[in-house]
Amino acid sequence: MRIGFGFDAHVLVEGKVLKLGGEVIDFPRGLRGHSDGDIVLHSLSDAILGACAQGDIGMYFRDDDKKIEGIDSKRILAFALEAASKSRMKIVNIDIVIVADEPKLSGLYNRIQTSISQQCNVPAAAVSVKAKTTEGTLVGNDSMACFAVVLMEQS
């Protein structure tokens, strides 16, 4: 068994679509990033790569590479899952914590959970999604962050 940990954060900006876990979220701002800014899939991808001792997504998807600007983060997760498969590792469970004062996310947990379970080909019961606010003390209303932990085993 191996544990992987991932983290990501981006600033909220006008004119971008907000994506979390591969799902489009109805909110007037989105996350600025070289890709689509999906902090959930970025932190999860880093956790998977970490459990496989394969580094982090920045090693493979550089933020100065114009060819991948705007890339869908589902492609980044697919890359991490392929690396796990090549390492003969499979996901046992996933735990996601989104840190955001806005928007309120509690009504979206099931959508994000389902999206992640489908992308990772694991049962929804193996994916936990929750959100925490900081009451303006850390990320405030202008950014979001996400922590991901994944437990993996040899397949």
Q: Given a cut of 80, is residue 106 above it in pLDDT? A: yes
**Whole-angstrom Cα distance, residue 20 to residue 24?**
7
C-alpha 64, offset from chain centre = 20
Domain 2-154: which CATH class? alpha beta
pLDDT tens-digit readout, 68-93? 888 999 999 999 999 999 999 999 99
Query: Which helix (H) or strand (E) is 85 found in, with range?
Result: helix 73-86
The mean of the pLDDT values for the chain is 94
Q: What is the pLDDT of residue 140?
A: 62
CA distances (Å), origin 90, targets 27, 125, 154: 34, 15, 6
Instruction: Using CB atoms within 10 Å of the CB of residue 73, give its burial: 0 to 12 exposed, 13 to 18 middle, 19+ buried.
Output: buried
pTM: 0.95
Residue 37's pLDDT band (cuts 50, 70, 90):
very high
